[in-house]
Amino acid sequence: MVLSEPKIKLVNINKTFKTRRKTIVALKDINIEVADKEFVAIVGPSGCGKSTIIRLIDDIIKPTSGEIYIDGEKYGKVIPQSTIQKMGFIFQSPNLLPWLTVRENVEFTLRILKIDNQSYKENVDKLLEMMNLKRFENSMPSELSQSMLQRIGVIRAMVYNPEILLMDEPYGQLDETMREQLNLELLDIWSKLGQSIIFITHNVSEAVLLADRVYVMSTNPGQIIEEIKIDIPRPRTLDIMQSEQFVNYEEKIVKLIGKVDLSKIK
């Protein structure tokens, strides 16, 4: 894919954290481009700075040096609210408010952004249907399974129709079977809504199943060591995970990452 006009662009990004005793180089010379409606995964060992990258994009933290662009607009010291609202952030934990129902939790983002528009409220119904949660809309979080809670966390970030989704290992707490099911649901939603996605994961199989391209990172300091285009036709199903092409991508990425605890990437 030619990324002539990227939706997201990071240029020579560096990030250091200083403590009283030392300076930690978290990211070094990070260059990433994501096209409109493209699904990009970032994979690598713990501590390589994957999550730091999307926190920089969402302006949760600032880079030490380098440039970030959204739709060609360069980040300055203050990021316009219109740019921030182009992005939805999905965390490792859904972080739902236990005193609110499912529907109220999904709508909470609209309250925070002070969006009172009927079309957005109708979007809540659509997303609940797409994630098979409509019949649970009046349930409390304590009444639901972990996989349902993760689904709610995903659609809460989608409710105001962001153009970009930043996903930080959203299914990492689930078992393999449930994670695969939710990955297929995510692919289905993405095919219908068409956001640009950056998906952080330890799981190599997950990255290959989901992404158009995979950025592979190393650690100490966090650097991108290779960009791999996943040339597997869509729509994708779990059956492709047994194919020679899929296995070859997995093996290549695992070799690039190096000697890592395999329980974290399989």
Which run of H or E residues covers position 26? strand 23-34
* Strand ranges of the sheet holding 39-43, from the earlier edge strand across to the other edge: 87-90, 164-168, 196-201, 39-43, 213-218, 223-229
- Which pLDDT belongs to residue 33? 96
User: What number of helices (H) and strands (E) belong to the chain?
Assistant: 8, 10
For residue 113, is it within any domain?
no
> What pLDDT score was predicted for residue 243?
95
Q: Is residue 155 part of a domain?
A: no
Judge contact between 222 and 26, C-beta under 8 A.
Answer: yes
* Rounded distance between C-alpha atoms, residue 7 and residue 33, angstroms: 7
The pTM of this model reads 0.90
How far apart are the C-alpha atoms of 71 and 145, rounded to whole Å?
A: 38
pLDDT surpasses 70 at 5:
yes
Encode pLDDT of 107-133 as tens digits: 988 888 877 777 777 889 999 998 889
Q: Give the closest residue to 43 by CA, choosing from 247, 226, 259, 202.
A: 202
Amino acid at 259: K
pLDDT at residue 155 above 60? yes
For residue 15, tell me if it sits in a domain: yes
DSSP bridge pairs for 15: 27
Chain centroid to CA 12: how far?
Answer: 21
Question: To the nearest whole number, what is the mean pLDDT of the chain?
Answer: 89
Asked whether 151 and 100 are in contact (CB, 8 A), the reply is no
Contact indicator for 110, 121 with CB cutoff of 8 Å: yes
How far apart (Å, rounded) are the C-alpha atoms in residues 120 and 113? 12
pLDDT recorded at residue 204: 94
**Pairing relationship of beta strands 65-70 and 39-43 according to DSSP bridges:** unpaired
Q: Is the pLDDT of residue 2 over 80?
A: no
Helix 118-130 with 176-193: angle, nearest 10 deg? 140
- Has residue 82 been placed in a domain? yes
Convert the pLDDT of each residue in 52-97 to its tens digit. Answer: 999 999 999 999 999 999 999 999 888 888 888 899 999 888 889 9
What is the C-alpha radius of gyration for the chain, rounded to an integer number of angstroms?
A: 18
**Residue 111 forms part of a structural domain:** no
pLDDT at 38: 97
**pLDDT, greater one: 133 or 172:** 133
What per-residue confidence (pLDDT) applies to 226?
A: 95
**Residue 265, pLDDT above cutoff 50:** no
Single-letter residue type at 201: T
Q: Would the pLDDT of 251 be above 60? A: yes
CATH number at residue 215: 3.40.50.300
Residue 190 lies in a domain: yes
Q: What is the pLDDT of residues 16-61, one digit of tens each?
A: 988 888 888 899 999 999 999 999 999 998 888 999 999 999 999 9
Residue 193 · residue 185 · CB < 8 Å: no
Classify residue 149: in a domain, yes or no.
no
**Domain span including residue 214:** 8-86+163-264
Count of domains in the chain? 1
**Does the residue 151 lie in any domain?**
no
| 32 CA to centre of own chain | 14
